[in-house]
Amino acid sequence: MASAASSLTFILLYGVSYGLVLFIISIGLVITMGLMRVMNLAHGAFAAIGGYIAVGVMTNFGIPFPLAVVAAVAGVVALSVVLERLVFVNLYGAPELDQVLMTIGINFIVIGGLTIFFGPNVYPINLPDYLTGNVDLGIRNFEIYRLFVIAMGLIVVVGLWIMFEKTSFGAKLRAAVDNPSMTRVIGINVNRVFIIAFGIGSGLAALGGAIGAGMLPLEPYYPMKYLVLVLVVVALSGFGNMRASLAVAVLVGIVDTAGRFLVPSLGGFIIYIVLVVLMVLRPEGLFTKRAA
Amino acid sequence: MVTQGNRLGTITVVAGLLISTTAMADTLKVGVVGPMTGPLAVMGEQWRHGIETFMELNGDTAGDTTIEVVYRDTMGNPANAKQMAQELIVRERVQALVGFGISPSAAAAAPVINEVQIPTFLPHVASPALMEASPYFVRLGQNIATNAQVAAKWARENGMESAYVAVADYAPGHDVANAFKPAFESAGGTVTGSDNVPLSTVDFSPFAERIAEAQPDMVQLFIPPGAQAVSMVKALAARGMMEDTLIMGQGEAEDSDIHLFDGTIKGFHSAIYYSESLDNPENAAFVGGLQAKFGEDVLPSTFTLGAYDAMALIYAVAEEMGADFDGDAVMEKLSGYSWASPRGKITLDAESREPIQDFVIRRVEDVDGQLRNVVVDTIPQVHPISGS
């Protein structure tokens, strides 16, 4: 029988790695929701497209995994900026139901497109050898891939923190989230901030889709399949709150992993119980300052 | 005289034309109803492979009857299944149905089928109790309880003392668990753990962790093919279980799906009734025809095979009965019917309308650098185990 310490570290490490993938995929939506108040339910489609690009260039052109990930992010950033100008720009200020219908529609178009070009089945990823296998961490063995995902997640967190807190773009972004009209008044081009933020958010989704493909297999239904998890993170984070969404994503990962490990038959919905409880207690988001 | 002769000739030609037009009008319409798009689209695609391969090899006539196939997409939704079956019967006037991706869809359409007595061929749906829903159902796959019992018996004969059961938390998963456990235990084995894996599971490592901690000799799985099966196998492999534990499934690693997995699938066992590597002339024709039409890298699955065999039965009946596909007469003819399928000899059990067929235990191995299912054992002519 394995020791309690081994089980606990299992829950922590696997939960955190799962949570960090969710974070990378969701953070873009948290930011753009906060900025533009657009309910972009097609956000998961960017993650799926990112994953498909990465695996596509790996299998078809033999491009190494790190470069494939870069290609995926670059491709999705370009695509998303074009889409923002052509499609999403029409949604700013539109009623929420219109936004939901439109972006769900985009999801179905992407699902149909992926099915036509890549078939209805899983699109398999072959991770490079240096990411497969286990490494002995003293307490127990761990998959190298999971550790890699954790490392990437932490890099994204630090990168985003620097961008938000230390750059002038970050300051503009925070200003635009808090009060878009006042930000305009002082001469900041909020539309440009929108486009850049939208591109970054979609690029991060692509990054999550690509590096997470070993954990969340790519399939045409990806944009819908993981939508609920992404929305959980977004709903509990509050608008544009990165710190909260990191905490929520990791919490979701750990609770889900622990739930399935400890009480497998209930494991499927423990996370939703947590969601309901938190929504009742903190409807504005986990770390949002309460209005006076 | 000459004109007379000409006239006679003309009459003969006209009569001949008339006869041949009637012969051409003698068309049997077959409705195919199932998931052509949506999350289960693989099923519909592989049926189409099976049906088109059969028609490529055998032409579109059975005797004097022209066979025409009409497809309807349920998108995997049982509510659509009933509506589409109805539409095929009423509007398209089909006289036979091939279909249903999941057992609930077949059950939903059963009342319509019973009312108009349409012989309905089920390529793969596997719920044990399903056959009670309609006397016009013919099963070409298996009853899922049969696989589980075959697996339990084989594992005991091969020295497995303890087993862990991990099945997807929906009806077919429960059917597998309920059939496997008593079979394994009555053969002297011990079931040390049993998990129902929620269908919403994305990360399977918690289950792999539980199973690994229990250290069983074997694991009996039932996980839906595609993303879930891929993730489950990866998670088990990450715990090193593919090497030291017998991992037994059914349709998780179909030949057509092996390429979805990475090398960690090596060693995965399945108890099932077909393998692409079977050596018989019918299988050679089937696989050859499939690859000639759809490409060298297309491999058959039990879905492809089920639809192919459904067409074989329809052709066999149509050859004798023509397009007059009276439901009861067709069922009468098929009762105890035996033919040479790519899977080997198959007989439709008169009682259950399910196949009596060989089962194979197959293992995924690296064959010349390619992952393939290799048959390691054959259990001849297994009778279906009664449902419910």
Please indicate whether, in this complex, the C-beta atoms of B262 and A229 are within 8 angstroms of each other: no
Burial string for B90-129 (b: 16+ CB within 10 Å, else e) reads eeeebbbbbbbbbbbbbbbbbebbbeebbbbbbbbbbbbe
* B203 → closest Cβ in A14, A120, A126: A14
Residue A266 has pLDDT above 60, yes or no: yes
* Test the B interface: residue of A25, A109, A121 with most B CBs within 10 Å: A121
Does domain A17-281 sit in CATH 2.60.40?
no
As given in the structure block, the two tokens for residue B228 are 């879930």
Does A1 contact chain B (CB < 8 Å)? yes
Sign of the Cα torsion A199, A200, A205, A208 reads: positive
| Number of Cα atoms under 13 Å in the Cβ half of residue A120 | 16
Contacts of B230 in chain A (CB under 8 A): 122, 124, 217
Dump pLDDT digits (tens) for A271-289: 888 888 888 887 777 766 5
Provide the residue type at B188 as one letter. G
Q: Is B31 in contact with B72 (CB distance < 8 Å)? A: yes
Q: What is the pLDDT of residue B387?
A: 46
Residue A31 has pLDDT above 90, yes or no: no
* A121 → closest Cβ in B37, B226, B262: B226
Q: What is the pLDDT of residue A37?
A: 80
Contacts of A143 in chain B (CB under 8 A): 238
**Phi, psi at B194, each rounded to 5°:** -150, 125
CA dist B241 and B373 (Å) reads 19
- Domain range for B373: 145-272+359-382
Across chain A, mean pLDDT equals: 88
Please tell me whether residues B83 and B205 are part of one structural domain. no
Please indicate whether, in this complex, the C-beta atoms of A18 and B203 are within 8 angstroms of each other: yes
Contacts of B203 in chain A (CB under 8 A): 14, 18, 215, 256-257, 260
Please tell me whether residues B228 and B259 are part of one structural domain. yes
Shortest Cα distance, chain B CAs vs residue A265, angstroms: 6
- When computed from its CA atoms, the radius of gyration of chain B, rounded to whole angstroms, is 23
Q: What is the mean pLDDT of residues A71-93?
A: 91
Please tell me whether residues B349 and B365 are part of one structural domain. no
Please indicate whether, in this complex, the C-beta atoms of A226 and B261 are within 8 angstroms of each other: no
Reading chain B (388 residues) residue by residue, the pLDDT tens digits are 445 555 555 555 555 544 444 444 589 999 999 998 877 888 999 999 999 999 999 999 998 999 999 999 998 888 899 999 999 999 999 999 999 999 999 999 999 999 999 999 999 998 988 999 999 999 999 999 999 999 999 999 999 999 999 999 988 899 999 999 999 999 999 999 999 998 888 889 899 999 999 999 999 999 988 888 998 999 999 888 998 999 999 999 998 889 888 888 999 999 999 999 999 999 999 999 999 999 998 999 999 999 999 999 999 999 988 888 889 999 999 999 999 999 999 999 998 999 999 999 999 999 998 899 999 999 999 998 764 4
Q: Is B68 exposed, middle or buried (0-12, 13-18, 19+ CB in 10 A)?
A: middle
Please tell me whether residues B234 and B366 are part of one structural domain. yes
> Where in chain A are the domains?
17-281
Q: Is residue B17 part of a domain?
A: no
Please tell me whether residues B237 and B291 are part of one structural domain. no
Question: Residue A143, Cβ neighbours under 10 Å: how many?
Answer: 24
CA dist B284 and B173 (Å) reads 33
CA dist A199 and A71 (Å) reads 14
Q: Is B384 in contact with B356 (CB distance < 8 Å)? A: yes
CA A125 from chain centre, in angstroms, equals: 19
- When computed from its CA atoms, the radius of gyration of chain A, rounded to whole angstroms, is 19
Q: Is residue B16 part of a domain?
A: no
Q: What is the pLDDT of residue B2?
A: 47
* B226 → closest Cβ in A18, A127, A219: A219
Closest to A275 (Cα-Cα) out of A256, A291, A289: A256
Query: Chain A, 140-159: which have a CB under 8 Å from a chain B CB?
Result: 141, 143
Nearest CA in chain A to B40: A120
Percent of chain B as helix, strand, coil, to the nearest 5:
45, 25, 30
CA dist A122 and A125 (Å) reads 9
As given in the structure block, the two tokens for residue A106 are 């985009």
Residue with tokens 């992926």: A114
Please tell me whether residues B128 and B103 are part of one structural domain. yes
Residue with tokens 């049926």: B47
Residues of B with CB under 8 A from a CB of A: 37, 39, 41-42, 45, 169, 195-203, 205-207, 209-210, 212-213, 226-227, 230-231, 234, 238, 240, 257, 259-262
At A68, the pLDDT band (50, 70, 90 cuts) reads very high
* A268 → closest Cβ in B200, B213, B261: B200
CA dist A197 and A187 (Å) reads 18
Q: Is residue B10 part of a domain?
A: no
Query: Chain A, 45-84: which have a CB under 8 Å from a chain B CB?
Result: none
Q: For chain B, what is the domain count?
A: 2
Q: What is the pLDDT of residue B347?
A: 96
Shortest Cα distance, chain A CAs vs residue B354, angstroms: 29
Going through A166-227 in order, the beta strands assigned E by DSSP cover: none
Please tell me whether residues B250 and B157 are part of one structural domain. yes
Provide the residue type at A79 as one letter. L
Cβ-Cβ pairs closer than 8 A, A with B, add up to 96
Closest to A25 (Cα-Cα) out of A221, A288, A180, A232: A232
Q: Is residue B67 part of a domain?
A: yes
Residue A235 has pLDDT above 80, yes or no: yes
Beta pairing partners, B62: B65
Nearest CA in chain A to B208: A261
Nearest CA in chain A to B44: A120
Q: Is residue B64 part of a domain?
A: yes
Contacts of B231 in chain A (CB under 8 A): 215, 217
At A127, the pLDDT band (50, 70, 90 cuts) reads confident
Nearest CA in chain B to A216: B202
Please tell me whether residues B134 and B164 are part of one structural domain. no
CATH number for position B137? 3.40.50.2300
As given in the structure block, the two tokens for residue A240 are 């544009």
CA dist B297 and B372 (Å) reads 12
Contacts of A16 in chain B (CB under 8 A): none
Nearest CA in chain B to A257: B206
Q: What is the pLDDT of residue B386?
A: 61
Please indicate whether, in this complex, the C-beta atoms of A7 and B209 are within 8 angstroms of each other: yes
Nearest CA in chain A to B214: A1
**Phi, psi at A253, each rounded to 5°:** -60, -45
* B260 → closest Cβ in A121, A143, A265: A121
Q: Is B375 exposed, middle or buried (0-12, 13-18, 19+ CB in 10 A)?
A: middle
Q: What is the mean pLDDT of residues A189-199?
A: 89
Pairing status of strand B27-34 against strand B65-73: parallel
Please tell me whether residues B255 and B161 are part of one structural domain. yes
CA dist B360 and B378 (Å) reads 4
CA dist B59 and B47 (Å) reads 17
Q: What is the pLDDT of residue A292?
A: 37
Q: What is the pLDDT of residue A237?
A: 83
Query: Chain A, 221-250: which have a CB under 8 Å from a chain B CB?
Result: 221, 225-226, 229
Please indicate whether, in this complex, the C-beta atoms of B259 and A124 are within 8 angstroms of each other: yes
Going through A43-115 in order, the beta strands assigned E by DSSP cover: none
Give the containing element (helix H, strand E) for B116: helix B103-116
Does A216 contact chain B (CB < 8 Å)? yes
Pairing status of strand B96-99 against strand B338-341: unpaired
As given in the structure block, the two tokens for residue A156 are 């994204």
